[in-house]
Amino acid sequence: MFTLLHPFAGFLLAAPKRKKINIVAFFLGAMLPDLEGLYFIPFAYKACAALAGNEFTACAADYPSHFLLHSFLGAILIGVGVAMFFLLVNRMKIMKQKTNTKLIFISSALGTLSHLFIDLFFHGGADALALLYPVGLRSSLAFLGLQQFWNIVAVAGIALFAYIYLYKKEKLFGDEK
Ligand SMILES: [Zn+2]
């Protein structure tokens, strides 16, 4: 799924806890896994270069690009990275308030887990997620053409998020300190 949609779709999943988590850390955790997707784009292009049109698109989409960052281990590593980033920000006194490092780690890890959960419905076959990386077992919930169904759910979810954000902004972020 598109990287930029992940934070919003994930945020809906985390909605019941939204007041407790750090939104920036959650969004970072939800987007950073696709760095490895970015990394594999040139390889996918090379591997599929002989094909054209729809065949090329299908080949590139199925090229395995989900490894460490799309796993539970990756969620921990990204959480540590995001927490270190916030520690640095605290040290440099860029923001007025200091952040709670444990909360940053948990928020980031939740963001990554929401990303993994959503990706499970979108990627299958050789490109399915290896949640237990470095164990090679790949799991997927993308079956029976459910990708299309989940695309619709994602778009509806984002529309709902926009609605909540615009009309209930006070309630959403009102008591954030
Ligand atoms: Zn992903």
Q: How far, in Å, is the centroid of ligand 1 from the Cα of 95? A: 30
Q: How far, in Å, is the centroid of ligand 1 from the Cα of 92? A: 31
Tell me the per-residue pLDDT of 5-18, one tens digit each, with 9 for 90 and over: 788 777 777 777 66
Stated pTM of the model: 0.78
Q: How far, in Å, is the centroid of ligand 1 from the Cα of 31? A: 8
Q: Closest Cα to residue 1, out of 125, 148, 159, 163?
A: 148
- Mean pLDDT computed over every residue of the chain: 84
Q: How far, in Å, is the centroid of ligand 1 from the Cα of 97? A: 31
Of residues 85 and 91, more confidence is placed in 85
Q: Closest Cα to residue 70, out of 11, 13, 27, 113?
A: 113
pLDDT at residue 130 greater than cutoff 90: yes
Tell me the per-residue pLDDT of 30-43, one tens digit each, with 9 for 90 and over: 999 999 988 999 99
In whole angstroms, how far apart are CA 67 and each of 63, 122, 128, 157, 168?
12, 15, 9, 27, 38
Q: How far, in Å, is the centroid of ligand 1 from the Cα of 159? A: 21
Q: How far, in Å, is the centroid of ligand 1 from the Cα of 164? A: 25
Q: How far, in Å, is the centroid of ligand 1 from the Cα of 33? A: 6
Q: How far, in Å, is the centroid of ligand 1 from the Cα of 19? A: 25
- 3 state DSSP class of 139: strand
Q: How far, in Å, is the centroid of ligand 1 from the Cα of 94? A: 30
Q: Domain range for residue 70?
A: 3-173
- The pLDDT-based confidence of 29 (bands split at 50, 70, 90) is very high
- What pLDDT score was predicted for residue 26? 93
- What pLDDT score was predicted for residue 76? 97
Q: How far, in Å, is the centroid of ligand 1 from the Cα of 34? A: 5
pLDDT at residue 175 greater than cutoff 70: no
Q: How far, in Å, is the centroid of ligand 1 from the Cα of 163? A: 25
- Maximum distance among all alpha carbons in the chain? 56
Q: How far, in Å, is the centroid of ligand 1 from the Cα of 175? A: 31
pLDDT at residue 1 greater than cutoff 60: no
pLDDT at residue 165 greater than cutoff 80: no
The C-alpha atoms of residue 131 and residue 117 are separated, in whole angstroms, by 10
